[in-house]
Amino acid sequence: MSSITHHIPDELLIAYASGSLEQAFSLVLAAHISMCDECRARLGAHEAVGGAMLENACGTEAGMAVSADLKARLLDALDDPVEPAPPAYHRSGVFPGPVMEALGGLPPKWKPLGMGVRQSILSHGKGGSVRLLYIPSGQAVPDHGHNGLELTLVLQGAFHDETGRFGVGDVEIAGSDLEHTPVAEEGAACICLAATDAALRFRSFIPRLLQPVFRI
């Protein structure tokens, strides 16, 4: 999508390419990459560099020994029956393939948060959480800060906050230094995919009181 203006920084793309990124954030990156030609090309470049480095490492004496062992194990694995991989999920409506996979191919199970805002938690645990958010047109999310990192990908509509405007395909990267009040723009409701690795930090009493219930 050529209208995307907020992309994934290189350090997160490299972590994603190496497999070291937390699962919750990896889902956001996979969804964004499926929508963004620029980040998909940059990811390919990082993967090519990583492949070249691995190839050079395998050229050493130690690397050749590892490579020979790996080859033997791969040949052994060929004799074992392998179940076919499940079919890849494709985009459905506003939800990219990676999100549909996380949903198991089913529509989101929305739960109300108040003021018309709804959420559907895709995963939640010590390693972070990822959820879909539905924010009605013109509605604001309570003012909050962050105890860690939050990645928010817009799937429908748009929102704006103290840092700018975010439309379909854009990713907002919020760290512990950002306190903001996202507001959905007029028009279609704003649907976002949001991942965090720590609880949010709300200023108002009511959101803080309900935070354990809503797991945010």
- CA atoms lying within 13 Å on the CB side of residue 145: 8
Domain ranges of the chain: 104-214
pLDDT for position 208? 55
SS3 call for 95: strand
Residue 39, judged by CB atoms within 10 A of its CB (0-12, 13-18, 19+), counts as buried
- Pairwise CA distance, residues 60 & 93, whole Å: 49
Q: State residue 114's pLDDT score.
A: 85
In sequence order, the 6+-apart residues with CB closer than 8 A to the CB of 159 are: 135, 165, 166, 182, 183, 184, 185, 190, 192
| Tens digits of pLDDT across the chain (216 residues) | 458 999 999 999 999 999 999 999 999 999 999 999 999 999 999 988 765 555 565 555 544 554 566 555 545 544 555 555 555 788 889 999 999 999 999 999 999 988 899 999 999 887 678 999 999 999 998 787 778 889 999 999 999 999 999 999 999 998 878 888 899 999 999 999 999 887 666 666 556 555 555 566
Q: Which fold has domain 104-214?
A: Jelly Rolls (2.60.120)
Cβ atoms of residues 21 and 9 within 8 Å: no
pTM (2 decimals)?
Answer: 0.77
What pLDDT does 80 receive? 56
pLDDT at 115 (0 to 100): 86
